[in-house]
């Protein structure tokens, strides 16, 4: 019998001992007077007044000394030592509970606080309650849980074993709350739009397809909330945002997960210059909350300075600088492919369809990773973003920007296309690319075009991935570290 199985058997024996004694090992409720951190903070007064306290937590350490046993328990606020004295609990209760407890058990305790000879704050247990008997052992204390695959699959064990992981998700929660608070203060209204959609639109991505049985037609998990949020601008709202769960049927790597969270907001009567300023302000607010007020942070050895104003560079100029190709002159798919081949550039364009996807592949191969400090990359070619409004002084470009730092695209924003005729033509161009095999090309949404035909005011829109931003602000490498339950390949279990 393996050591693991032996321990499972031993724990079940203890479970039976509890039930035989008439003790419910999984009660529904326990009344606490204090969280553990509160006991530590108010210790002197509680000790002076000999206050009876009730606390609860998971046993994380356990050490016996004859008639005295110490344990460390942990709740969501912190950890504290408890002491079980035979003379205080009574010999029978003491022997019973010491023989029934294991690491990982949740217990409730009642007693007074005192300081040990070494000055450690401790609860002197007078009464013990089993709250949840753990039937499986926790990962080893000294080695913890280090296997990355297991950490992601069994996140609950990861959170138990690695306190720094809990800190990551506490920071992520602060990030989302700060974004909400910031946008609320700026007059934006939070809304919800459909996740199940009849057409997948609002971004260049391959969607997940599902089927609605009652209506008997296929639907798509949304790839972005954009087209619905802009319908709300048509309807008369002027500032709306959504913290949106989105789904894209794409590969998995350190910066992509098929299921992810982003915030999108839309602002009537504003343009992308306004959005750049607002982006700088919002990031300053976020860093103030999670980075001790500093607008500089170190990510994997690189210091990034988020002090405004961020640098700005046009898409045209960075491609010209890094590849020597002037995309204003090589402005068709055929010309661009010929120029890439002529210059001997190694770009995977086998699955790129159209000028936009070819230019995107070129940029990702030679340009993106060269951008280290936070930089607004502006004014993309029209073919790359079919939902963005053309630049007033150059109709071949769209008024757009992406914020890039250390080769990672943190957000995308642009002046929204509100000309229904231009929008219809560009969606038809996307349809043509789909017929050629471009799986990420957008679908024509006639209902959206009809909505635009009723009139949408000048509007600027913004989208930012929460998971990627959290990567930067928590100092980790992969979005899997900032998503509680990332998508993984199904585990193969032995029969």
**Res 144: pLDDT:** 60
> What pLDDT is attached to residue 1?
66
Query: Where residue 414 falls among pLDDT bands split at 50, 70, 90?
Result: very high
If you count them, how many residues does the chain have? 495
pLDDT at 142: 44
β-pair type (79-85, 121-132): parallel
Q: Which of the four pLDDT bands, split at 50, 70 and 90, describes residue 73?
A: very high
Share of the chain above pLDDT 90, in %: 91
425-451 average pLDDT score: 94
What is the separation of C-alpha 449 from the centre of its chain, rounded to a whole number of angstroms? 32
What's the pLDDT at 121? 97
Q: What end-to-end distance do the CA atoms of the chain give, in Å?
A: 18
> What is the average per-residue pLDDT within 46-70?
94
Q: What is the mean pLDDT of residues 20-32?
A: 98
Q: Does residue 143 carry a pLDDT above 80?
A: no
pLDDT of residue 491: 79
Q: What pTM value is reported for the model?
A: 0.92
Residue 467: strand, helix, or coil: helix
d(CA 381, CA 387): 12
Q: In the chain, what are the domains?
A: 3-138 (2.40.50.140), 160-310+373-481 (3.30.930.10)
Average pLDDT of the residues of the chain: 95
Q: List Cβ neighbours of 143 (8 Å cut-off, separation of 6 or more).
A: none
Predicted confidence band of residue 119 (pLDDT cuts 50, 70, 90): very high
Confidence at residue 494, expressed as pLDDT on a 0 to 100 scale: 60
CA atoms of 266 and 462, how far apart (whole Å): 6
- Would the pLDDT of 5 be above 90? no
| CB of 124 closer than 8 Å to CB of 112 | yes
Give residue 4's pLDDT band: very low, low, confident or very high (50, 70, 90).
confident
User: How far apart are the C-alpha atoms of 307 and 421, rounded to whole Å?
Assistant: 40
Please say if the pLDDT value at position 141 is more than 70: no
Of 302, 244, 312, 234, which is closest to residue 273 (Cα–Cα)?
312
* pLDDT, position 265: 98
Q: Name the band, by pLDDT with cuts 50, 70 and 90, for residue 55.
A: very high
Torsion angle (degrees, nearest 10) of CA 475, 479, 485, 489: -130
Reported as a single tens digit per residue, the pLDDT across 145-188 is 778 888 999 999 999 999 999 999 999 999 999 999 999 999 99
* Tens of pLDDT, residues 295-339: 999 999 999 999 999 999 999 999 999 999 999 999 999 999 999
């Amino acid at each position: 019998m393996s050591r693991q199985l032996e321990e499972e058997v031993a724990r079940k024996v203890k479970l039976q001992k509890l039930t035989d004694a008439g003790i419910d090992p999984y009660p529904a409720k326990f009344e606490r007077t204090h969280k553990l951190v509160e006991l530590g903070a108010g210790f002197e007064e509680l000790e002076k007044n000999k206050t009876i306290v009730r606390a609860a937590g998971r046993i994380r350490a356990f050490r016996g000394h004859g008639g005295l046993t110490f344990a460390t328990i942990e709740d969501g606020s912190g950890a504290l030592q408890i002491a079980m004295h035979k003379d205080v609990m009574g010999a029978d209760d003491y022997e019973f509970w010491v023989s029934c407890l294991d690491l990982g058990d949740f217990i409730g305790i009642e007693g007074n606080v005192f300081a040990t000879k070494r000055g450690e704050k401790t609860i002197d247990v007078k009464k013990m309650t089993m709250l949840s008997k753990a039937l499986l052992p926790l990962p080893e204390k000294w080695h913890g849980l280090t296997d990355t695959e297991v950490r992601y699959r069994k996140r609950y064990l990861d959170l138990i074993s690695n306190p720094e992981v809990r800190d990551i998700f506490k920071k992520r929660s602060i990030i989302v709350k700060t974004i909400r608070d910031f946008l609320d203060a700026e007059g934006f209204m939070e809304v919800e739009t459909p996740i199940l959609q009849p057409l997948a639109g609002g971004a260049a991505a391959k969607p997940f397809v599902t089927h609605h049985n009652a209506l008997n037609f296929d639907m798509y998990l949304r790839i972005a909330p954009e087209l619905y949020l802009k319908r709300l601008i048509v309807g008369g709202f002027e500032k709306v945002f959504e913290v949106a769960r989105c789904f894209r049927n794409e590969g998995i790597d350190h910066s992509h997960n098929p299921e992810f969270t982003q915030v999108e907001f839309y602002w009537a009567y504003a343009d992308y210059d306004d959005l750049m300023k607002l982006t700088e302000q919002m990031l300053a607010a976020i860093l103030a909350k999670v980075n001790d007020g500093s607008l500089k942070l170190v990510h994997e050895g690189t210091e990034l300075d988020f002090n405004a104003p961020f640098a700005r560079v046009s898409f045209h100029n960075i491609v010209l600088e890094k590849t020597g190709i002037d995309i204003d002159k090589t402005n068709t798919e055929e010309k661009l492919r010929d120029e890439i081949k002529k210059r001997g550039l190694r770009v995977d364009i086998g699955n790129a369809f159209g000028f936009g996807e070819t230019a995107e592949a070129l940029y990702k191969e030679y340009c993106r990773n060269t951008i280290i400090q936070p930089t607004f990359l502006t004014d993309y070619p029209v073919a790359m973003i079919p939902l963005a409004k053309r630049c007033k002084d150059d109709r071949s470009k769209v008024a757009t920007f992406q914020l890039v730092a250390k080769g990672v695209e943190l957000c995308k924003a642009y002046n929204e296309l509100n000309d229904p005729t231009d929008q219809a033509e560009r969606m038809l161009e996307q349809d043509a690319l789909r017929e050629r095999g471009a799986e990420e090309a957008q679908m024509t949404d006639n209902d959206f075009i009809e909505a635009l035909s009723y009139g949408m005011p000048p509007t600027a829109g913004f989208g930012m991935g929460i998971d990627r931003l959290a990567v930067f602000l928590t100092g980790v490498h992969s979005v899997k570290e900032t998503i509680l339950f990332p998508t993984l390949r199904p585990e193969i279990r032995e029969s």
